[in-house]
């Protein structure tokens, strides 16, 4: 069926439906009394229903097509009216059945549209839920990407900082190497001897002022003088003269055998435990006159008293003594005495290295006093111990050292002038001086 035929049929159907609606009320009573429809009439109703469904479905076509069809429908309306006028009027029963079929078709179309709408609405809701889930996943992925990006940036920053530090250290190392190379280029072979002499003089000063080692300081100065003598440079005469003065002043310092003093004090500490303690000291009793029996008979009374007194003295003797008695020391007191004497000797040892003469002498004097008071002075070991303390107390442990070395500032100025003055400023191709 072509579009023109469909439009003509639609127009005819619409006209018939309008006519049937107009006459429906008038022929209701007569329609109820009419006979049942024939097979021909049923086929005509089915055709009209199909035409109505096609009309409803064609209403969804684009507006441009509808306008065109409407124009063609108007052109054929007259022809349809003529044919309708020529045809005999349909019975009222056929009109009623056609209206019912159209209503059923319209209801089916409406139900179909509602089903399509519901199905589309459910699909739209499912799509919105999927879109929301996808958006949530996208947000989570975005957060993870931002977090990993921040961590990566932090790691990169740390790596850059470490790399920068390493580069700065390498730059400093390169600068120091360049400086060392430039110094080596500006020096002569004999300048090494001068630098070595400067080092030896500085070491001599440290030995002298920090350790008070005069012998080592003198030896270092003599070695430095030999290095300068090997240069055979007349311009270094002032340096050698100052070094000679320093060597002479160091040799004039009194030599103190600290190691020997310390060894002797240590041996005295070990000897303290072997010293014998003194016995209890009792003051002497007063002299008692002895009465002798005379040979005269006239002195019989005196002789009798004398004899009785001598006889009684064999049982009880009473003697009067003036002075305090010093008792023997207990083992515990003996231990404390030994430890106190050792402590004083240890203090004297520390005083030797620190050159504290007053503390040294005081410690040895107190140790001597305790030995004389509590040990047996008749024993040779005690006498030797006390005599050794007397000798050590007379030793001089203090010396006068020079405040400074004359050669040190002279050779330092010479090094700065001769060696470091030859170092030229470094220049590079990128930053020329």
Return d(Cα 403, Cα 396) in angstroms, integer. 20
Q: What integer pLDDT is reported at residue 62 of this predicted model?
A: 42
What is the tens place of the pLDDT at every residue in 191-231?
Answer: 788 888 989 999 999 998 888 888 899 999 999 999 888 88
Q: What integer pLDDT is reported at residue 59 of this predicted model?
A: 44
Q: What integer pLDDT is reported at residue 223 of this predicted model?
A: 92
- The residue that leads in pLDDT, 362 or 20, is 362
Cα 260 to Cα 56, 209, 255, 348: the distances in Å are: 136, 21, 12, 13
Return d(Cα 171, Cα 173) in angstroms, integer. 5
Cα four-point dihedral sign 205, 207, 211, 216: negative
- The residue that leads in pLDDT, 287 or 398, is 398
Residue 136 tokens, joined: 């949530």
Q: What integer pLDDT is reported at residue 71 of this predicted model?
A: 54
Per DSSP, the three-state class of 326 is strand
Q: What integer pLDDT is reported at residue 347 of this predicted model?
A: 94
The full DSSP string for 335-394 is HHHHHHHHHHHHHHHHHHHHT-HHHHHHHHHHHHHHHHHHB-TTSHHHHHHHHHHHHHHT
What is the tens place of the pLDDT at every residue in 78-131?
Answer: 555 555 444 444 455 555 667 888 888 888 889 988 888 888 889 889 999 999
Q: Provide the β-strand partners of residue 277.
A: 375
Return d(Cα 12, Cα 52) in angstroms, integer. 11
**Furthest CA-CA distance within the chain:** 224
Place 138 in a pLDDT band, splitting at 50, 70 and 90. very high
Cα 110 to Cα 50, 102, 294, 318: the distances in Å are: 16, 12, 182, 158
Element (H, E) at 68: helix 63-86
Does the pLDDT value for residue 296 go beyond 90?
no
Give the mean pLDDT of the chain.
74
Q: What integer pLDDT is reported at residue 320 of this predicted model?
A: 57
Residue 2 tokens, joined: 């072509």
Does the pLDDT value for residue 173 go beyond 70?
yes
* Burial of 222: CB neighbours in 10 Å, binned 0-12, 13-18, 19+: middle
Return d(Cα 176, Cα 172) in angstroms, integer. 6
């Amino acid at each position: 069926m072509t579009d023109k035929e469909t439009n003509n049929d639609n127009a005819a159907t619409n006209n018939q439906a309008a006519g049937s609606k107009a006459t429906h009320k008038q022929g209701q009573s007569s329609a109820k009394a009419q006979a049942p429809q024939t097979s021909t009439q049923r086929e005509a109703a089915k055709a009209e229903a199909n035409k109505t469904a096609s009309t409803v479905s064609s209403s969804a076509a684009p507006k441009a097509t509808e306008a065109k069809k409407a124009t063609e429908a108007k052109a054929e309306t007259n022809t349809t009216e003529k044919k309708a006028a020529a045809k005999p009027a349909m019975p009222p029963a056929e009109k009623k059945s056609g209206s019912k079929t159209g209503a059923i078709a319209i209801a089916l179309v409406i139900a179909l549209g509602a089903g399509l709408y519901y199905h589309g609405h459910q699909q739209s809701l499912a799509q919105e839920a999927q879109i929301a889930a996808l958006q949530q996943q996208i947000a989570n992925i975005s957060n993870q990407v931002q977090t990993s990006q921040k961590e990566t940036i932090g790691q990169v920053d740390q790596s850059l900082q470490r790399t920068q530090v390493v580069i700065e250290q390498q730059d400093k190392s390169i600068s120091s190497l360049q400086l060392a190379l430039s110094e080596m280029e500006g020096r002569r072979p004999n300048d090494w001897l001068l630098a070595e002499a400067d080092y030896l003089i500085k070491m001599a000063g440290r030995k002298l002022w920090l350790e008070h080692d005069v012998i080592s300081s003198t030896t270092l100065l003599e070695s430095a003088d030999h290095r300068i003598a090997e240069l055979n440079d007349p311009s270094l005469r002032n340096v050698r003269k100052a070094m000679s003065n320093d060597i002479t002043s160091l040799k004039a310092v009194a030599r103190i055998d600290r190691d020997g003093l310390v060894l002797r004090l240590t041996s005295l500490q070990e000897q303290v435990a072997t010293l014998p303690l003194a016995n209890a000291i009792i003051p002497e009793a007063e002299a008692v006159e002895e009465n002798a029996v005379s040979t005269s008979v006239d002195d019989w009374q005196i002789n009798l008293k004398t004899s009785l007194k001598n006889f009684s003295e064999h049982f009880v003797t009473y003697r009067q003594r003036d002075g305090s008695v010093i008792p023997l020391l207990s083992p515990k007191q003996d231990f404390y005495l030994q430890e106190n004497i050792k402590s004083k000797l240890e203090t004297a040892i520390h005083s030797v290295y620190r050159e504290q003469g007053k503390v040294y002498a005081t410690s040895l004097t107190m140790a001597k006093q305790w030995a004389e008071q509590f040990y047996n002075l008749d024993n040779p070991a005690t006498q030797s111990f006390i005599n050794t303390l007397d000798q050590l107390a007379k030793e001089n442990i203090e010396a006068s050292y020079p405040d400074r070395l004359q050669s040190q500032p002279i050779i330092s100025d010479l090094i700065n002038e001769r060696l470091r003055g030859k170092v030229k400023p470094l220049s590079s191709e990128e930053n020329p001086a």
